[in-house]
Amino acid sequence: MQAKLSTMFQSLKVRNYRLFATGQLIKLIGVWMMFIAQDWLVLDLSGNSATALGVVTALQFTPVLLLTLISGRLADRYDKRLLLFVANAFWTVLALAMAALVITGLVQLWHVFAFAALLGTANAVETPVRQAFVSELVGTELLPNALSLNAATFNSARIVGPAVAGLAIAAFDVGPVFLVTAFSSLAPLVNVVRMRPAELHRKELPPIGERDQAKVIDGLRYVWRRPDLLLPMVMISIIATSLFNFQLTLAALAKTVFNTGAASFGLFSSALAVGALAGALAGTGRRSRPSVWVVLGAAVACSVFGTLVGFAPAYWLVVTLLLPTGFCMVFFAQAANQRIQLGVDAAFRGRVMALWVLVFLGTNPVGAPVIGWLAETYGAGASIWIGGLISLVTALLALTWQLRRSGARLRFRVLPMPRFYVVSAPDC
């Protein structure tokens, strides 16, 4: 067990990565508390409008759609550590301003809309830079483990943040939650400063003239010529748009279908996050690039469980189904992320990861308003299972395409345990 745990958390032996992960964990707990408080505040200010909730989510991710590719170019041209500091500093100022509005009682719905858009701007710069920065913290050998621990950090915060936020909102209202978020965002700023640049795994930045040659269009062409990168990109764009909207749909499900309070909404989010944490930790032992079949199998599984959540008629059944749903969602997303990161040339890493962030998060401005409208018109449950079915069709089509392209065959085995497996061609 000790050896297993040592392998699982191997990247934490690297000081710079340990500082990075600690700062992210503290910040993300506050961020998830803020997300719960923000959603609850929007529902209160808008008269329980799921459409308003969808608009906020869309505004939060529209800058990702517009700015992420530019951020990827910056990541390939400039010091990622400095870029992270600037983006996180901007985020801290925003969080303090929003906390002041909420605590003083001056907040209005349009304030939340504006805050969501500005927050999205900070995230549009920070997220692709942070994704590309991980390889500089640990090097290629530990990169799969570090990426899995990133997901574990993210989902640990998703467990703690919503649970604490639900209780805090019930006890103190939303104002103090926003204040905690503002102070927690200082942690990554401090830890980025404490890092040792000499211990980073990176090459010297090229001269300014050579950096100017790092163009966005070259990154897009690079991915287009790589089917092994393009397939997970296309899959995640559709599945994230249609199914990965639980921040929106679970709030509507808790309040409008089961008529529960903020604490129960926090339980939904925490159940999803517990499964997600298990899915992230399941990938920490990976030491090589995951196969396309792992990515496709996880996509099918998360689509099936997501669909079942939408059909679940009872509160306890939703909580139960959210556990495997969270596991399969993160296992799929992380396997796809690792397949891309471990297959990309270092010179294109920033731009490729910016495209990954774009298709993973940038599609929300399109999907969130539609999902919000479905939830308000046909019910929150319908908005979930419709998205699940779209995702399932996407995953099955991708599986069919890959089988035909590779010449592989899908088989089913009953004994010793029922399972599907792939008989691959030699080149697979």
CA-to-CA separations, 8 to 2, 14, 21, 148, 287, in angstroms, rounded: 10, 13, 14, 9, 11
Better pLDDT: 14 or 54:
14
User: What percent of the chain has a predicted confidence (pLDDT) above 90?
Assistant: 17
Instruction: Give the three-state DSSP class for 313.
Output: coil
What are the start-end ranges of the H helices in 342-361? Answer: 349-361
What are the start-end ranges of the H helices in 312-348? Answer: 315-341
Q: What is the pLDDT of residue 365?
A: 63
pLDDT at residue 391 is higher than 90: yes
List, for residues 47-70, the tens digit of each pLDDT value. 777 778 778 877 887 787 777 778
The answer to whether the CB of 269 falls within 8 A of the CB of 309 is no
Domains of the chain plus CATH, in order, are 14-200 (1.20.1250.20), 215-406 (1.20.1250.20)
Range from 98-112, 149-163, 336-350 that averages highest in pLDDT: 98-112
List, for residues 153-205, the tens digit of each pLDDT value. 877 777 777 778 877 887 777 888 888 888 898 998 999 999 988 888 766 55
**Tokens coding 22:** 């600690």
Task: Provide the b/e sequence for 111-150 (b: ≥16 CB within 10 Å).
Answer: bbbebbbbbbbbbbbbbbbbbbbbbbbbbeebbbbbbbbb
Instruction: Give the three-state DSSP class for 369.
Output: helix
- What DSSP string describes 185-239? THHHHHHHHHS-GGGS--PPPPPHHHHTT--HHHHHHHHHT-HHHHHHHHHHHHH
Q: Which of 92-101, 126-135, 225-234 has the lowest mean pLDDT?
A: 126-135
For residue 211, the one-letter residue type is: R
Q: How far apart are CA 22 and CA 11, in angstroms?
A: 12
Average pLDDT over residues 16-43: 88
Place of tokens 């600690």: 22
pLDDT at residue 96 is higher than 80: yes
pLDDT at residue 327 is higher than 80: yes
Q: How far apart are CA 205 and CA 213, in angstroms?
A: 13
What is the enclosing helix (H) or strand (E) of 68?
helix 50-77
List, for residues 284-306, the tens digit of each pLDDT value. 767 778 889 999 999 999 999 99
Q: What is the pLDDT of residue 428?
A: 42
**pLDDT class for 31, splitting at 50, 70, 90?**
confident
